[in-house]
A and B are shown apart, each in its own frame.
Chain A
Amino acid sequence: MSDTAIETTHLRKVFGSNAAVEDLSLDVYCGEVFGFLGPNGAGKSTSIKMLLGLVKPTSGEARLLGKPVGDVSTRRRVGFLPEHFRFHEWLTGAEFLDLHGQLLGIEPAVLHARRDALLDRVGLAEHHDKRIGDYSKGMLQRVGLAQALLNEPDLVFLDEPTSGLDPVGRRLVRDIIGEQRDRGATVFLNSHLLGEVEVTCDRVAFINYGRVLEVRELGRETADEITVSVKARNLNGNVLTSLRAWADGIRINGEHLTFNVAGEDILPEVLRHLAAHDVDVYSFTPKRLSLEEQFVRIVGTEGGL
């Protein structure tokens, strides 16, 4: 097996005169949880549809688990929870999973056991034989998630998997994503809930206008952007001017000083510099940029329609 679960080069999709995806080049490695972030209309859903072979790319190339996208047999190893989770309403939850298990070519005995275990796992233990038409929005998303995991996929696409769920359900999805990672699966997560992405993803790609703006690793110690809040007295103009050597975005409001530095390594130097200039420091709090702040900084606040 190759180390790359998803590989796209200059993937492009044009609808009429409108490019939904401009030029998407991306590598997702096996075994990682990968977040796909961008404002509405950035081309996320179209990208996922191209990767799953639901939409044909206008140009460019994409490979899934080493095979070109659209390869039917690769889909045996792929799971997918669509954003608009609408399923055949006249089937019961158990029948729905049976149908998709059969399409995946799972042995009946294995399918039976896996179906029941998965329905229990997503919290539908009481609702195996209830019609999907009678499911609530949250239950639909849960049964959709069970469906995406039926074949114990090597690669699973979750498109906004928690949009219909309450906090308990969201936590369940987070746990299940963790279980998939532990199993060795690759998870491709498309979500608007940045807080959620922050705790579940290993890496994230920020995309807009159908291009990758930046790919970042999350939770690394050497995070590059840190905002420092300082409570201090005896701050004078000279100190602040010389601080510019290390920091930018310097703001002062009475005793409160905030600035941004490029990395953690700089912090002791800054602290020594303040002490050498007889500044009395009462508190010194470095804070990594939240994913939301990174998002706004990289993607900007425009668009999002």
Chain B
Amino acid sequence: MTGVAIIARLTFREAARRRILLLAVSFGILFIGLYALGLYLLPDTFESILVRRQILKIFLLLGLYAANFLTVAMSILTSVDTLGGEIRSGTMQTLVAKPIARWQVLLGKWLGFVGMLTVYVVLMAGGVALVMYGIAGFWSESLFTAMALVWLEGILLLSITFLGGTMLSTLATGVLAIGLYGLAFLGGWIEEFGSYATSKTSVSIGIVTSLIIPSESLWRRAAYEVQKPIIGGPGPGWPFSSDSVPSDGRTCAFFPAS
């Protein structure tokens, strides 16, 4: 086994041993259960098929938005102390004195977290989609694209905490990741309203923030993917919808960085 694989396995095992995985999966299942209950209790008496589809899409977006937000929070919370904590406690000293390069330790840990993130996204976003299909019979091929985009958003924030962790303390890293996420979130909203009011400056602000940190544009593209068969969205004011759609290029802008 190579050094990278050993460290990746160690990271995964740590999460399992310290009951992080167990708790995340348990709450994930509770989340899906509650979501299913909510959908089940929704009265199925709509004016028309079109209105029914629209309402179900909003409910689907609501579920995906919550899954997306939880993925972001989990990516940051679980990984924020992995480098700083090991350096501070001294457990890192014994590791890096072994015949393994620093980049292998970093890559191994990163891959371990990517593995956990994958499990989490499949459980949460996949669970939402399955519940929607099982209870309301509503399915969309673009759910896979949306899920992949949510996954990428998690990886983006994971990479930011890793980058921060190599230079900053644990708390500072957390502040950095959440601060950047907040900027992108606000920038996305300004862009959204700007596109309604046809303000080019507002749209530009959104584009610039999303080029710095594309987390919100990843979500907005995911939301667009799910709702695109319908003409027009529900309008601004829905945090989980998208009217100013990020292009493919912008959605992928962070790839070279990660």
Interface of A toward B, CB cutoff 8 Å:
52-54, 72-76, 78, 80, 82, 84-88, 90-91, 99-100, 102-105, 144, 147
Minimal Cβ-Cβ distance residue in B for A95: B13
Q: Which of B3, B10, B98 has the most CB of A within 10 A?
A: B98
Shortest Cβ distance from residue A274 to the other chain B in the assembled complex, whole angstroms: 57
In the bound complex, do residue B94 and residue A73 qualify as a contact, i.e. CB atoms below 8 Å apart?
A: no
Known: A85-B90, A90-B14. 11 other contacts (CB 8 A): A54-B93, A54-B96, A73-B99, A75-B97, A84-B90, A86-B90, A87-B94, A88-B14, A103-B6, A104-B98, A105-B99
Shortest Cβ distance from residue B87 to the other chain A in the assembled complex, whole angstroms: 10
User: What residues of chain A lie closer than 8 Å to B99, measured between beta carbons?
Assistant: 72-76, 103-105
Supply 23 A–B pairs (Cβ within 8 Å), ascending by A.
Answer: A53-B96, A53-B97, A72-B99, A75-B97, A75-B98, A75-B99, A75-B100, A78-B97, A80-B94, A85-B90, A86-B91, A87-B94, A88-B14, A90-B17, A90-B18, A91-B17, A99-B6, A100-B94, A103-B6, A104-B98, A104-B99, A144-B94, A147-B94
With contacts A90-B14, A90-B17 taken as known, whether A100 is within 8 angstroms of B90 at the C-beta atoms is no
Docked complex Cα distance between A5 and B212 (Å) = 50
Cross-interface CB contact of A80 among B10, B17, B97, cutoff 8 Å: B97
Asked if B42 is at the interface of the complex by the 8 Å CB criterion, the answer is no
In the bound complex, do residue A103 and residue B93 qualify as a contact, i.e. CB atoms below 8 Å apart?
A: no
**How many A-B residue pairs lie within 8 Å, measured between CB atoms?**
56
Docked complex Cα distance between A90 and B14 (Å) = 7
User: What residues of chain A lie closer than 8 Å to B97, measured between beta carbons?
Assistant: 52-54, 75, 78, 80, 82
Docked complex Cα distance between A53 and B18 (Å) = 31
User: What residues of chain B lie closer than 8 Å to A84, measured between beta carbons?
Assistant: 90, 93
Interface of B toward A, CB cutoff 8 Å:
1, 3, 6, 10, 14, 17-18, 89-91, 93-101
Shortest Cβ distance from residue A70 to the other chain B in the assembled complex, whole angstroms: 10
With contacts A100-B98, A147-B94 taken as known, whether A86 is within 8 angstroms of B18 at the C-beta atoms is no
Minimal Cβ-Cβ distance residue in B for A71: B99
Cross-interface CB contact of B98 among A88, A90, A103, cutoff 8 Å: A103
Docked complex Cα distance between A55 and B257 (Å) = 27
Docked complex Cα distance between A100 and B3 (Å) = 10
Shortest Cβ distance from residue A94 to the other chain B in the assembled complex, whole angstroms: 14
Docked complex Cα distance between A303 and B105 (Å) = 38
In the bound complex, do residue B94 and residue A82 qualify as a contact, i.e. CB atoms below 8 Å apart?
A: yes
User: What residues of chain B lie closer than 8 Å to A87, measured between beta carbons?
Assistant: 91, 94
User: What residues of chain B lie closer than 8 Å to A76, measured between beta carbons?
Assistant: 99
User: What residues of chain A lie closer than 8 Å to B18, measured between beta carbons?
Assistant: 90
Minimal Cβ-Cβ distance residue in A for B88: A86
User: What residues of chain B lie closer than 8 Å to A54, measured between beta carbons?
Assistant: 93, 96-97
Shortest Cβ distance from residue B187 to the other chain A in the assembled complex, whole angstroms: 37
User: What residues of chain A lie closer than 8 Å to B93, measured between beta carbons?
Assistant: 54, 80, 82, 84
Docked complex Cα distance between A86 and B101 (Å) = 20
Q: Which of A72, A78, A100 has the most CB of B within 10 A?
A: A72
User: What residues of chain B lie closer than 8 Å to A80, measured between beta carbons?
Assistant: 93-94, 97
Docked complex Cα distance between A80 and B94 (Å) = 7
User: What residues of chain B lie closer than 8 Å to A86, measured between beta carbons?
Assistant: 89-91
In the bound complex, do residue B90 and residue A72 qualify as a contact, i.e. CB atoms below 8 Å apart?
A: no
With contacts A88-B14, A90-B14 taken as known, whether A82 is within 8 angstroms of B98 at the C-beta atoms is no
User: What residues of chain B lie closer than 8 Å to A102, measured between beta carbons?
Assistant: 1, 6
With contacts A72-B101, A90-B14 taken as known, whether A103 is within 8 angstroms of B90 at the C-beta atoms is no
User: What residues of chain A lie closer than 8 Å to B14, measured between beta carbons?
Assistant: 88, 90
User: What residues of chain B lie closer than 8 Å to A144, measured between beta carbons?
Assistant: 94
Cross-interface CB contact of A88 among B1, B91, B96, B100, cutoff 8 Å: B91
